[in-house]
Amino acid sequence: MRTSLRCAVVVIAAIAVVAVGSVRAIERRPLPAFTLTDLNGQPVASETLPTAGKWLLIYVQPKCDSCDALLRTIDVRDQPGLPSRMAIVVGRADAAAAAAQAARFPDLSAAHWYAGRDRSASEALKVVSAPMVFGVRDDRLEWSVAGIVPDLDGVKSALITWAGHR
């Protein structure tokens, strides 16, 4: 327990140092209920998202330069298993637009990509800006960071620290 708490503190501190956007100390709470759409157009309930261990829920939007920059920082050569520990929600997009966004990032093909056309996910998660990253442990939201980050290497390190190792 102490090791995982220490790890969470390190991740939050690293993100706090590098973020220009808002680092939000969120109340640790269960992942809220919302519905997404998979890339085949099928509805997916939030309770069926991959929820074992530590993982990342990343909210992005189409035509968002800072979202693209964040996704480009994830280098699978460093952590080939990291994308499989990520659920990426493309907000304000239907399944076709989310699939097009996913195709722009072939290194993240192992990530779980979803469309969030309606506002149920963004409202339930209280998304304040894009990109927004949530650190999730099992089915509980642990931390979040929103907005543009000037030191993407620092964010990359934080993401790997949180979800790169099981």
Number of domains in the chain: 1
pLDDT value for 8: 38
β-strand 140-146 against 132-137: which pairing, if any?
A: antiparallel
DSSP designation for 93:
-
- The string of pLDDT tens digits covering residues 126-137 is 999 999 999 999
Q: Which residues contact 136 (CB under 8 A, 6 or more apart)?
A: 31, 51, 54, 55, 56, 57, 142
Q: What's this model's pTM, rounded to 2 decimal places? A: 0.80
Q: Which residues form the domain of 38?
A: 2-163
Measure the N-to-C terminal CA separation of the chain; round to a whole number of Å. 14
CATH code of 26's domain:
3.40.30.10
* Three-state SS at 113: strand
- The string of pLDDT tens digits covering residues 63-116 is 999 999 999 988 788 788 899 999 999 999 999 999 999 999 999 999 999 999
